[in-house]
Amino acid sequence: MLLESGGIVHLDFRRPSTALAPAFEKFLSVFLAEDHDMWPVDCVFGLARTNLPAYIEFLQLASEGRGLPDRWVSSDTYWAFAGDEMAGEVHVRHSVRGTLWRVGGHVGYSVQPKFRRQGVATAMLQHACNRLRELGEVDALITCWDENAASAGVIEKCGGVRIVDAVDAGHKARRYLISLV
Ligand SMILES: CC(C)(COP(=O)(O)OP(=O)(O)OC[C@H]1O[C@@H](n2cnc3c(N)ncnc32)[C@H](O)[C@@H]1OP(=O)(O)O)[C@@H](O)C(=O)NCCC(=O)NCCS
């Protein structure tokens, strides 16, 4: 583990590439059955499990707003490395539209179990907010399922102010705004 003086893991943010595919495969293989699944097979993110080169290509095109499924928005993805090991993945959607206003918002993130509770998701969300600021967004909308205490904690640590909840297919989602100005 690469700890900086404050006990925080030092992270390098890299763009997805085929050269990093082995590190991503290892990362994906250690998620827990009870974790919220960020790569469901019924959505294009499921390519991460079924066809990793296609997933990487999708992420590369998505950052240029190309090859997007209907109603998807362009997004940047960063793979956060601690040394040679991939600790987390964060998606930064350039804008919010449609159902993303209810669930999804601007940012999605995941951290592999052994790196949790060391500030990795907090650093990734801060990185995402910096990118959104660069893109000219004024507020970041961040959502999580009501029962996802870990994600709610990350958002609150980054200054998220809770706004009205949303309900998606009977499932309650918390919604927060982080001011970027
Ligand atoms: C949610 C998740 C990304 C958190 O990652 P993390 O790197 O452990 O988060 P951080 O270390 O930055 O935690 C920041 C704060 O969140 C809260 N928190 C984090 N994990 C928590 C947990 N398991 N239980 C309660 N609070 C938690 C704490 O307040 C923590 O601050 P502290 O450690 O100083 O007390 C990680 O648990 C994960 O990948 N889960 C599976 C995927 C997922 O749910 N993604 C989010 C979908 S919305």
Q: Does 12-137 carry CATH code 3.40.50?
A: no
146 pLDDT above the threshold of 80 = yes
- Give the per-residue pLDDT at 7: 57
CA of 143, closest atom in ligand 1: 48
Please report, for the chain, the start and end positions of each structural domain, with discontinuous segments joined by +: 12-137
Per-residue pLDDT reduced to its tens digit, 154-167: 999 999 999 999 99
| Residue 136, Ramachandran bin (φ over 0: left; ψ between -120 and 50: alpha; else beta) | left
pTM surpassing 0.75?
Answer: yes
Of all helices (H) and strands (E), which one includes residue 140? strand 139-145
Of 8 and 100, the structure prediction assigns the larger pLDDT to 100
3 pLDDT above the threshold of 90 = no
- Give the per-residue pLDDT at 5: 47
1 pLDDT above the threshold of 90 = no
Phi, psi torsion values for 91, nearest 5 degrees: -105, 130
Verify whether ligand 1 is closer than 6 Å to residue 112 (CB atom).
no
CA of 142, closest atom in ligand 1: 48
